[in-house]
Chains A and B, each alone.
Chain A
């Protein structure tokens, strides 16, 4: 018999692998500024809410940031700071929204909240270390791309949760 811990670790690994795959897809899409992100890799994180424990959730997050750094080759550059700040703040904010509202919020709201937290923290870092006062030039671009992509991601996540039988078995088996 396979132990319960092993099953859970494999589940985290599966979600992380999915995040890395989506990061690769995202990396192939051309973008005007290198650190701008569509946030495709946040899909597994949005889906992890409700089926992962806090430890598993943050483990997934860490693996996602490291994996993205490896794939884009930015792991040892300052861009990892943007990635880390964005991912961490959005993950914490999404977890907060989810724990506060539970079933009163759909994945669209969670996704939007995550994108907003991510955009704001990245703009803040950009203001701090890169563009200083001139950050406002890139702010609208940052915010609106995040707005649109997070709505699409949220709708996808909603649909996935309703339709996937695999996902509903995960939900039931949560400890």
Chain B
């Protein structure tokens, strides 16, 4: 086995630090869960506890988001593959729904202990 050099270790520590720093970004968001929606160049913020239905216009049509009972889902979208609709309801901070064809991105932001392995896996799917 070839030995690791001090420079290997330095690069490793640098990488690890940046990785851990990326986690801390989660905790810098506000107390109450908010729904952040990015469509095109604009961004909207909604309160997760207030029920509402909003439509966002993207390059191929409208994507309709519904907030109800502290949960969010995409009710309806003009895109072909409907992945955003099939994602279903999201409720925890850090969870997101993306409609790539229509350029709409919905994410719940709020205070949470998200930095556990299990949560990270939840986010990925």
Q: In this complex, which of A112, A140, A141 has the most chain B Cβ atoms within 10 angstroms of its Cβ?
A: A140
Complex contact B43–A159 (CB within 8 A) = no
Complex contact B120–A140 (CB within 8 A) = yes
Once the chains are docked, how many angstroms separate the CA of A85 from the CA of B14? Answer: 21
A34 to B: closest C-beta gap in Å:
10
Complex contact B124–A32 (CB within 8 A) = yes
B46 CB within 8 Å of chain A? no
Once the chains are docked, how many angstroms separate the CA of A147 from the CA of B16? Answer: 8
Complex contact B8–A108 (CB within 8 A) = yes
A134 CB within 8 Å of chain B? yes
B12 surroundings in chain A (CB, below 8 A): 108-109, 112, 151
Interface size bracket, A side: 20 to 34
* CB neighbors of A among B90-119 (8 A): 94, 96, 98, 100, 105, 107, 115
A residues adjacent to B (C-beta < 8 A): 32-33, 97, 101, 104-106, 108-109, 112-113, 115-116, 120, 130-134, 136-137, 139-141, 143-144, 147, 151, 154, 158-159, 161-162
Once the chains are docked, how many angstroms separate the CA of A162 from the CA of B3? Answer: 11
B115 surroundings in chain A (CB, below 8 A): 140
Q: Which of B3, B22, B23 has a CB less than 8 Å from the CB of A106? A: B3
* CB neighbors of A among B21-43 (8 A): 22-23, 25-26, 36, 38, 43
Complex contact B2–A162 (CB within 8 A) = yes
Complex contact A115–B15 (CB within 8 A) = yes
Once the chains are docked, how many angstroms separate the CA of A113 from the CA of B107? Answer: 31
Complex contact A109–B18 (CB within 8 A) = no
Closest to B41 in A: A132
B10 surroundings in chain A (CB, below 8 A): 109
B7 surroundings in chain A (CB, below 8 A): 97, 101, 104-105, 109
Complex contact B16–A131 (CB within 8 A) = no
Complex contact A105–B18 (CB within 8 A) = no
Once the chains are docked, how many angstroms separate the CA of A106 from the CA of B8? Answer: 6
A132 surroundings in chain B (CB, below 8 A): 38, 43, 105
The contact sample of 23 A-B pairs, CB cut-off 8 A, is: A101-B7, A105-B11, A106-B2, A106-B5, A106-B8, A108-B4, A109-B10, A112-B12, A112-B15, A116-B18, A120-B18, A131-B38, A131-B105, A132-B105, A137-B123, A140-B22, A141-B124, A143-B18, A143-B22, A147-B19, A158-B2, A161-B2, A162-B2
